[in-house]
Chains A and B, each alone.
Chain A
Amino acid sequence: MVGGYVKNAIQNETSHYQLHHPNFVEDKDVKFNIDNPAAVLAKVSETKSVKAATLRTVVNGMVRSSRGARGITIRGIDPAQESLVTGFDSKLIEGKYFTEGRKNEIIISQKIAEKLKLKLRKKVVLQFQDLNKDIVAGAFRIVGIYKTGNTIFDESMVAVKRMDLNELMAKEGIAHEVAVLLDKKEDLVPTGNALKVSFPNLLVENYREISPETQLYESQIDISATIFTTIFMLALIFGIINTMLMAVLERNRELGMLMAVGMNKGKVFTMIVLETLLLGIIAAPIGLFLGWATIQYFGGQGIDLGAFSASMEQFGLSTKIYTELSTKYYWSLAISVLITALLGSLYPAWKAIGLRPVEAIRKI
């Protein structure tokens, strides 16, 4: 769930990196735009490990309909590049994506459509302050309605073509933001370093810097994985102790005989410990495989938590959870199981060597 939140945040809101004019983040004034954005985009796209990048014009303004108005962020996008970076076109639930050659098209969220009682083909007016501080407005026809599953994001963003927005701004080619998607999250830091060197005059931020709550969620993945693993191992250790105690109990006579014929306590202790470890060595791969298979299945199919959709979307959580588990967790689980088996075997082994052969061999 948390992983899904982070993934959605990267995909819909922050991408892996964003480049801005140094003052734009603090003060979203349209005058703080990027110099020569096309060249910046070209250079970013050439950077190793960058999968895709896109320019955006970002303006805070108002969207008005005949039924109401609300403040929103207007994102002027290059449709083709935007879909490569965010997959925005895949978020449409009604209508269609931007059509090449058509002007003044707008895609709004389902949330905004509900609040302003809007439907496809209806017109809205976007109003904002341009570079000259004049209030400008433009009419846009709704061609698509999107939904990301993050209510907070959906309620605040509408998308238009960047060239349409720039025309209203009376400055062709302007851009406030470069959004960057990487091939692998592991390249985050080295790519950031490279971008900062290439663009010393721009503010280069990764998703953790743009959205500290995302970083918090991300760190929680490891913490909660550790907590869950600890809880599972505690339950497992009791299960192992119970199983092996039963094994010792049922084999009292056999253990007594073994000690009677000459198996010393050290060997009996070692035997119980090794039996438990062997159980763990056999069971752990089977369990890990079943877990992997389940994760792979639900990673593709997803687990639908639609019953809780309203509350989850409020927190930016997707209603469909796609399971995933990185390789390091499989290794740590395997090692944890073996350590737990070892620890769980100690008490039953101690009980076994406490048996008195003369009594044990007479047990029925």
Chain B
Amino acid sequence: MTVIKASNLTKTYNPDKIPVRALRGVDLAIEKGEFTAIVGPSGSGKTTLLNIIGGLDRPTAGEVEVGGKDISQLSDNQLIDFRKDNIGFVFQSYNLIPVLTAKENVEFVMVLQNRPKAERDKRAESLLTAVGIAEKMDKRPSELSGGQQQRVAVARALASKPAFILADEPTANLDSESTAGLLDMMATMNKEENITFVFSTHDQRVIDRARRVVTLVDGKIVSDERR
């Protein structure tokens, strides 16, 4: 089942001044259950591609379908609602809410979805257990290590039961041990629960674990390797 379908995506920044063509006609389809890494040198357009398929940015031309719905035509508020219910994000800098505990951070998206408290409690605890930090659920982000914070971020991304998780350089700020632990956890979730992960990365450790590697150079896909 195709979860993401990007057709002829083009993105040009500053079209009226000095135009920068970040994407030049990218076609990409991601199937359910894939563990895909989008790689390329800095400036290749991988973050731009991730932002567009995640609904955080709009293409200059082309279409993006998520779960069969063309999101490139949605309004800002419609996009926000769509992201809330369909897309999970893991950011490079974790971006947890500093005044909330780990559990409250995971619950946050479910609060936006108006889920009942009992359901929120149960799912948050279950996800934090799944990512291996159940004992830290009452800690604030400042009391957690980088790896632990990123695990909370993954749990938060999963909380809304999204169609897929987009992770933009999730291991960039982590040490080796934390990176290995995080990747193990995400690979396990992918394998056992068929959760779709799409990474933007140039961390070789992530690339090595991916089952599909899409390489971008200068805004174009130059290779698409399935392992």
Question: Are A261's CB and B109's CB within 8 A?
Answer: yes
Judge if A208 is at the interface, Cβ distance under 8 Å: no
B80 part of interface (Cβ distance < 8 Å): yes
A257 part of interface (Cβ distance < 8 Å): yes
Q: Would you call B76 an interface residue if the criterion is a C-beta within 8 Å of the partner chain's C-beta atoms?
A: yes
> Is there contact, CB below 8 Å, between A259 and B95?
no
Contact of A358 with B112 in the complex, beta carbons under 8 Å: no
Contact A261 B89 (CB under 8 A): yes
Q: How many Å from the CB of A150 to the closest CB on chain B?
A: 59
- Chain A: minimal CB distance from B6 (Å): 16
What are the interface flags for A250-261 relative to B under an 8 Å C-beta threshold, 1 for contact and 0 otherwise?
A: 000110011111
Residue of B nearest to A253 (CB): B95
In the complex, A266→B78 CA distance in Å? 12
Q: Could you tell me if A260 and B89 are in contact, using CB atoms closer than 8 angstroms?
A: yes
Asked if residues B77 and A358 are in contact (CB atoms below 8 Å), the reply is no
B215 to nearest A CB, angstroms?
Answer: 23
Query: Which residues 145-168 of A have a CB within 8 angstroms of B?
Result: none
- Say whether A267 faces chain B, with CB atoms less than 8 Å apart: yes
Measured CA separation A320–B79 after assembly (Å): 66
B60-117, CB < 8 A from A: 76-77, 80-81, 83-85, 89, 91, 93, 95, 97-98, 108-109, 112-113
Question: Are the CB atoms of A262 and B85 closer together than 8 Å?
Answer: yes
Partner of A260, one of B77, B83, B97, B160: B83
Within the complex, the shortest CB–CB distance from A267 to chain B, in Å, comes to 7
The answer to whether the Cβ of B156 comes within 8 Å of any Cβ in the partner chain is yes
Could you tell me if A262 and B51 are in contact, using CB atoms closer than 8 angstroms? no
Q: Which of A253, A265, A358 has the most CB of B within 10 A?
A: A358
Q: Is B56 in contact with chain A by the CB < 8 A criterion?
A: yes
- 19 A-B pairs besides A257-B95, A260-B83, A261-B112 with CB distance below 8 A are A253-B95, A254-B97, A259-B80, A260-B91, A260-B95, A261-B108, A262-B81, A262-B83, A262-B85, A262-B109, A262-B112, A263-B80, A263-B84, A263-B112, A264-B77, A264-B80, A267-B112, A357-B56, A358-B56
Known contacts A261-B89, A263-B112; A254 and B95 CB within 8 A of each other: yes
Chain A contact residues: helix, strand, loop or mixed: helix
A254 (CB) vs chain B CBs: closest residue: B97
| Distance of A149 Cα from B160 Cα, bound (Å) | 76
State which residues 178-237 of A face B: CB under 8 Å. none
Q: By the criterion CB–CB under 8 Å, are A361 and B84 in contact?
A: no
A265 contacts B85, C-beta separation under 8 Å: no
Rounded to whole angstroms, the CA-CA distance of A357 and B51 in the bound complex is: 10
What are 8 A-to-B residue pairs whose CB atoms are below 8 Å?
Answer: A254-B95, A257-B95, A260-B83, A261-B160, A262-B80, A262-B112, A263-B84, A361-B93
| B204 to A: closest C-beta gap in Å | 23
Task: Report if B121 contacts A (CB, 8 A).
Answer: no
Contacts of B91 in A (CB 8 A): 257, 260, 361
Q: Chain B's nearest CB lies how many Å from the CB of A279? A: 15
A44 to B76, CA, bound (A): 77
Tell me which residues across on chain A come within 8 A of B113, comparing CB atoms: 262
A266 to B77, CA, bound (A): 9
Q: With A and B bound together, what is the CA distance between A263 and B108 in angstroms? A: 10
Distance (whole angstroms) from the CB of B105 to the closest CB of chain A: 10
Q: Is B57 an interface residue (CB 8 A)?
A: yes
Identity of the chain B residue whose Cβ is nearest the Cβ of A257 in the assembled complex: B95
CB pair A262–B77 under 8 Å, yes or no, is no
- Residues from chain B with a CB closer than 8 A to the CB of A259 are 80
Determine the interface band of chain B, counting residues with CB < 8 A from chain A.
20 to 34
Q: Which residues of A contact B80 (CB under 8 A)?
A: 259, 262-265
Least distance between B181 CB and chain A CB atoms (Å): 23
Given A358-B56, A361-B91, verify A265-B77 contact (CB < 8 Å). Answer: yes
- Contact between A358 and B156, CB atoms less than 8 A apart: no
Which parts of A240-296 form the interface with B (CB within 8 Å)? 253-254, 257-267
In Å, the complex CA distance between A263 and B113 comes to 9
Closest Cβ of chain A to B123, distance in Å, is 15
Give every chain A residue within 8 A of B56 (Cβ-Cβ).
260, 357-358
Residues of B contacting A265 with CB < 8 Å? Answer: 76-77, 80
Q: Complex Cα distance A262/B83, Å?
A: 6
Distance of A112 Cα from B112 Cα, bound (Å): 80
CA distance A361 to B56 in the complex (A): 10
Query: Smallest CB–CB gap between A85 and chain B, Å?
Result: 63
- CB contacts (< 8 Å) of A358 on chain B: these are 51, 56-57
B7, chain A: closest CB distance, angstroms: 21
Q: How far is the CA of A264 from the CA of B78 in the complex (A)?
A: 9
Report the nearest A residue to B80, measured CB to CB.
A264
How close is A364's CB to chain B, nearest CB, in angstroms?
A: 9
A264 to B76, CA, bound (A): 9
Q: Does B95 lie within 8 Å of A262, measured CB to CB?
A: no
Please give me the residue from chain A that is nearest to B97 by CB atom: A254
Q: In the complex where A257-B91, A361-B91 touch, is A262 in contact with B160 (Cβ < 8 A)?
A: yes
Q: How far is the CA of A275 from the CA of B94 in the complex (A)?
A: 24
List of 9 A-B pairs having minimum Cβ-Cβ separation, nearest first: A262-B84, A257-B95, A358-B56, A264-B80, A358-B57, A262-B112, A358-B51, A262-B83, A264-B77
